[in-house]
Structure 1
């Protein structure tokens, strides 16, 4: 890099990420979109250094924690229930999209071979886990739609990258064996899943073997990178290794570490994933300038046209396939139709329209080899990279920006499934606590009056959960809101009293921090953990 030191560039990018994310929240635009646009703007500012991404670095630094975190927050139960639509999108749709784009590329780019065209199709075929999670979680989308989109984006990378490697290998060597490609796909999937589960199992054993919270968090941060490196070293699917490891770790983490460690780990991971997401999306925009300058004069126009047509092809293939993937299996299987009725048309259309590309497309495009085995330049390398970037921009900006008004237009039904499950779980947990209190009556060292106080507390809590849970199911959220607002005001009063004691010297900052942490945990428990103090009222 020229002009600025690399560390200064990183600081500049982080500042830009924070500023653009804040603006995105104010104008209600998904932040990945604004970050890509911001990167494009920064890329044309005179005097700024040229940013050149190493594709291996992109894969290794960014993908493992992002995929691991996305898998960690994926419900295994919901993933299993939606496995059929997820596989239809993550495997069949990737194959169809790759084939369609390869055929279109052959028609638009004279001289491009099938191997290079298939490589282009594999690069742009998988929607991105980062884009799907970052955009869908900030919009009011039914839970099942979110599960299918996130599940698809976790698995489809493995399908696309195996196709990509086979096509690039054919382009470099000049030969392609279908049977070898199929065996490679099967081995990559099975070995990747096995490696991910194995690494997560060892991580859990390590968590149980130590008591230090910082060591626990370090183990969780290191695990996805170990899974990725091991997967890459044996030519397995490193993507599936991280996905399988993240899902397995979610099933074990609750019993492996202390509550305070989980709170700290969630904060660390949330910050890490946010920064990685922000940097990678702004780098997508920054990369376009240098790539554009590598094209021969007069080639930019045809490449822009080809990119627009290929991006449209990817969108149209998805729009056509998603309804077929929902209708055909139910038409062929009455049992499936009875067990899982046809979803609403609005949900089907939303899934068909939500196909943003991102980090995997970026890294795969940049990872194309420079030369073939014979020493000749890799055919159409610059064109493939530029077209891939155009598809990223088209899907992120066009589809991403259209999602909020589209969701309002579709008038999606409110999804109270998670609220009902939350109410049921709270009641079940309180009942278990009351049962345990009954078992502790009469035990030495436990006063009966303390047991009675706790029994009264949990009984009242159980009554409240039942009442407020019914309100949620019926769609009347006013009772919940008033309940949370009341507790927020009470906790705020406690917090301000402690701050006043610290300010007048009655208590030290150490005491304030200890008691403040207890209030923070209580706020999170009551569902008001993200509400700040209203200073004017306080």
Structure 2
């Protein structure tokens, strides 16, 4: 019966996730925010079961694939190009935020020692990779800003967790050694990077051995968990292990698997990340029910105020640090100032405002031990957890909900070379195809006419992208959009015709699926993969 009860809880959570996500898309707001709010509302519904979030479940089940996926979809080129601001945010800002929050917490919570205050600071200092990728990918930010925020969120967890564990040891045992802390930090980071590389290399080797797409997808699903477990066994940074492994596999995945594997793997991973993200964010909101039971009602109002003070401290410190960290290196290095001018204030403000905390902070707070080494209760444990929850709630809802409005109202400096890079890539691809046709033309082909047809096809495509920047070009954005609409109509006609053949019993479902898949791939290629067949078209024969 217990298993059936747990299954009912999972079904209830997934149903709530799907419903709230649908509402969020209708309202055009990032779905993680509505899921957190929905979880908060559900926590007040009488009769609903109390769901306690196990931190081990977060660290061992949820985080490995989510970090791996976030790293996989991060551009290594952009990550390297923005290594300086990423490091200043992922290391410098985490240290400064931890210190500032510790000072505020030590002041507003009389009796809280410095070790406990630093624990709280380390818990709430890092913006969350899961929150960042789930929210930012739905917003139209400049590409460099997204690269910096994603890179920061991937690395800062490692810094914060090392600080957290060090301060936790001091709080539990009452001892603290700075040189040991620094050594542990560098050893954990180095070992975590090494584990990530090893897992990435082995995964690449395993992918090259099999030609079965399902086995290849299974390798990608197992790799993050293997990286996490090996890093934990080696007392290394499991976060960095997953980040490095995901970045490494991303560089080689396109060359070692077939196209069908990439399409299927993307679908599997998109669904997995969506489900894990949805459950995580709604669980964050649901934790209010358990926190209310842990804190006396007479103390809730004061703790709420303290939580708001800590939240404001974390937000203000970031808003100050971002422009200072952008200005100081340029002030000290004239060559850097000439090579990389100071970004507009609007871009810096958005970068400073996008500091949403998330599941890592909550899991770290819930993982606090119940007692110290002396056997006494861990001081201010319930208060630390509630304040951490407040910071997560304020940053996710307040900052996350206001980001779309701020981005629309501010004149952000958009990257102008994105379309140029895409045109260049398409031009080079067409040139490579023409070169390959020249290479195979000398071979004995039974259908030489096909070579000429392909040569004409790629010559036309190359001409299209070479001429796109000329003043008299016909390939404007309007013309390109008109072509996509027309192609969508023809693909829709083909798809409906094949469906009618299946419905009339002329072809089997296997043939339908095969032809439908080809049409779907073509739709994705030309950029109409998200368009649906209208109800009017479905009711008519082609």
The bucket for the TM-score relative to the shorter chain is over 0.9
Partner Cα separation in structure 2 for residue 477 and residue 373 of structure 1: 67
CA contact (8 A) 1:4 1:49 kept: no
Q: Which residue of 1 aligns with 2:428?
A: 428
CA contact (8 A) 1:3 1:49 kept: no
1:306 matched to 2:306: yes
1:200-229, Cα deviation, whole Å (9 max, x unpaired): 110010011111110000000000000001
CA contact (8 A) 1:468 1:479 kept: no
Partner Cα separation in structure 2 for residue 475 and residue 316 of structure 1: 47
In terms of mean alpha carbon deviation, does 38-47 or 13-22 score higher? 38-47
CA gap of 1:515–1:474, structure 2 versus 1, over 3 A, is: closer
Partner Cα separation in structure 1 for residue 120 and residue 141 of structure 2: 31
In terms of mean alpha carbon deviation, does 437-446 or 167-176 score higher? 437-446
CA gap of 1:379–1:2, structure 2 versus 1, over 3 A, is: farther
1:389 matched to 2:392: no
Structure 1 gap ranges (5+): none
Q: Which residue of 2 aligns with 1:192?
A: 192
Report how far residue 417 of structure 1 moved.
2.5
1:240-269, Cα deviation, whole Å (9 max, x unpaired): 000000000000101111100000000000
CA contact (8 A) 1:280 1:359 kept: yes
CA gap of 1:178–1:197, structure 2 versus 1, over 3 A, is: same
CA contact (8 A) 1:468 1:480 kept: no
User: Over aligned residues, Cα RMSD in angstroms?
Assistant: 1.7
1:495-531, Cα deviation, whole Å (9 max, x unpaired): 1111111122221111111111111111111111111
Partner Cα separation in structure 2 for residue 190 and residue 36 of structure 1: 35
Q: Which residue of 1 aligns with 2:27?
A: 27
CA contact (8 A) 2:468 2:475 kept: no
1:318-397 superposed matches below 5 A: 318-397=318-397
Report how far residue 79 of structure 1 moved.
0.3
1:477 matched to 2:510: no
Report how far residue 387 of structure 1 moved.
0.2
1:391-470 superposed matches below 5 A: 391-468=391-468
Partner Cα separation in structure 1 for residue 470 and residue 386 of structure 2: 54
Partner Cα separation in structure 1 for residue 288 and residue 271 of structure 2: 27
In terms of mean alpha carbon deviation, does 55-64 or 443-452 score higher? 443-452
Partner Cα separation in structure 1 for residue 466 and residue 138 of structure 2: 29
Q: Which residue of 2 aligns with 1:145?
A: 145
Q: Which residue of 1 aligns with 2:177?
A: 177
Partner Cα separation in structure 2 for residue 54 and residue 90 of structure 1: 26
For residue 261 of structure 1, give the secondary structure of its aligned residue in structure 2: helix
Report how far residue 292 of structure 1 moved.
1.3
1:66 matched to 2:66: yes
CA contact (8 A) 1:124 1:361 kept: yes
CA contact (8 A) 1:3 1:47 kept: no
For residue 536 of structure 2, give the secondary structure of its aligned residue in structure 1: coil
CA contact (8 A) 2:143 2:414 kept: no
Partner Cα separation in structure 2 for residue 350 and residue 2 of structure 1: 47
Partner Cα separation in structure 1 for residue 419 and residue 470 of structure 2: 10
Q: Which residue of 2 aligns with 1:259?
A: 259
CA contact (8 A) 1:94 1:122 kept: yes
Partner Cα separation in structure 1 for residue 91 and residue 493 of structure 2: 54
Report how far residue 437 of structure 1 moved.
0.4
Report how far residue 487 of structure 1 moved.
1.2
CA contact (8 A) 2:468 2:476 kept: no
For residue 299 of structure 1, give the secondary structure of its aligned residue in structure 2: helix
Partner Cα separation in structure 1 for residue 412 and residue 98 of structure 2: 31
CA contact (8 A) 2:193 2:241 kept: yes
Q: Which residue of 2 aligns with 1:278?
A: 278
Report how far residue 418 of structure 1 moved.
2.3
Report how far residue 474 of structure 1 moved.
13
In terms of mean alpha carbon deviation, does 196-205 or 444-453 score higher? 444-453
Partner Cα separation in structure 2 for residue 28 and residue 308 of structure 1: 27
Structure 2 gap ranges (5+): none
Q: Which residue of 2 aligns with 1:226?
A: 226
Report how far residue 76 of structure 1 moved.
0.5
In terms of mean alpha carbon deviation, does 442-451 or 246-255 score higher? 442-451
CA contact (8 A) 1:2 1:50 kept: no
CA gap of 1:39–1:268, structure 2 versus 1, over 3 A, is: same
Partner Cα separation in structure 1 for residue 301 and residue 232 of structure 2: 38
CA gap of 1:306–1:280, structure 2 versus 1, over 3 A, is: same
In terms of mean alpha carbon deviation, does 174-183 or 126-135 score higher? 126-135
In terms of mean alpha carbon deviation, does 150-159 or 125-134 score higher? 125-134
Partner Cα separation in structure 2 for residue 529 and residue 162 of structure 1: 43
CA gap of 1:475–1:408, structure 2 versus 1, over 3 A, is: farther
Q: Which residue of 1 aligns with 2:526?
A: 526
Partner Cα separation in structure 1 for residue 517 and residue 469 of structure 2: 28
CA contact (8 A) 2:344 2:413 kept: no
1:4-83 superposed matches below 5 A: 5-83=5-83
CA contact (8 A) 1:318 1:352 kept: yes
For residue 193 of structure 1, give the secondary structure of its aligned residue in structure 2: helix
Partner Cα separation in structure 1 for residue 20 and residue 476 of structure 2: 36
CA gap of 1:7–1:520, structure 2 versus 1, over 3 A, is: same
Partner Cα separation in structure 2 for residue 104 and residue 177 of structure 1: 23
Report how far residue 480 of structure 1 moved.
2.4
For residue 516 of structure 2, give the secondary structure of its aligned residue in structure 1: helix
